[in-house]
Homo-oligomer: A and B are copies of this chain.
Amino acid sequence: MNRIEVEKKVLNENQVLAEQLRERYSRDGVFCVNLVSSPGSGKTLLLERTLEYMDPQARVAVLTGDLQTENDAKRLARFGFPVKQIITGGTCHLDAKMIGKHLEGWELGNLDLLVIENVGNLVCPSSYDLGEDAKVVLLSTTEGEDKPLKYPSMFFKSDLMLLTKIDLLPYLPFDADLARENARRVHPQIEIIDVSNITGQGIDRWMKWLQESQQRKRSASVLGISTGN
């Protein structure tokens, strides 16, 4: 078997497991978001702001992936919601098998929202379906306007782009309009919200997006329509 055949087999196996996860999420009424971005675009800080903003009774849980360290899970655990770290040990993405394994011990029926923070990588995570209802890509203002064109698969597959570190705009040679235009060239329907994890700008819109997306899934479910990838 050559490399491309093995690659295809791995992706096919992942797809089977991802569909099983998607069915579980639907059956248990969980909305699942897969957060993707370059390293350091602000995924963990966004999650801190998100959990801080949540009602303490909210039924939310987080799986956070990294090649090494438990740092992110430690940062996120202090908000009192269930959090687990997935250490990939060098692998450049999360896959559906890792998600299934780390969901063990959690009763999905007790959750409304599951957020997965993927490994910081704009390439490989785009190939691995985790059964999520939506992919959300973070692009930070410090990364340059051209990233959607250079990494098109990730932006094409994402439902929402969060343009993070928007507070740094005054100090950067960054054309936010051009960045948005580039994202829409790759994916005309992509939604875009400007966000600052430092000043809190846009966090309310992001929370609203999360709530409305969950609501949409619930309504679709009542009507027997499936959502997701």
Contacts and interface: CB of A to CB of B under 8 A. Distances in A.
Interface of A: 1-3, 6, 9-10, 38-40, 66-69, 71, 90, 92, 119-124, 140, 142-144, 146-147, 149-153, 165, 168, 171-173, 198
Contacts of A150: 39, 66-69, 71, 120
28 contacts: A1-B1, A3-B6, A3-B9, A6-B6, A39-B143, A39-B147, A39-B151, A40-B142, A67-B123, A67-B150, A67-B151, A67-B152, A67-B153, A68-B151, A68-B152, A69-B146, A71-B146, A71-B150, A121-B121, A121-B122, A121-B123, A121-B124, A124-B124, A140-B142, A142-B165, A168-B168, A168-B171, A173-B198
Contacts of A40: 38, 140, 142-144, 147
A151 B90 CA distance: 8
Q: Is the interface of A mostly helix, strand, loop or mixed?
A: loop
A61 to B, nearest CB: 22
B3 A123 contact: no
Contacts of A10: 3
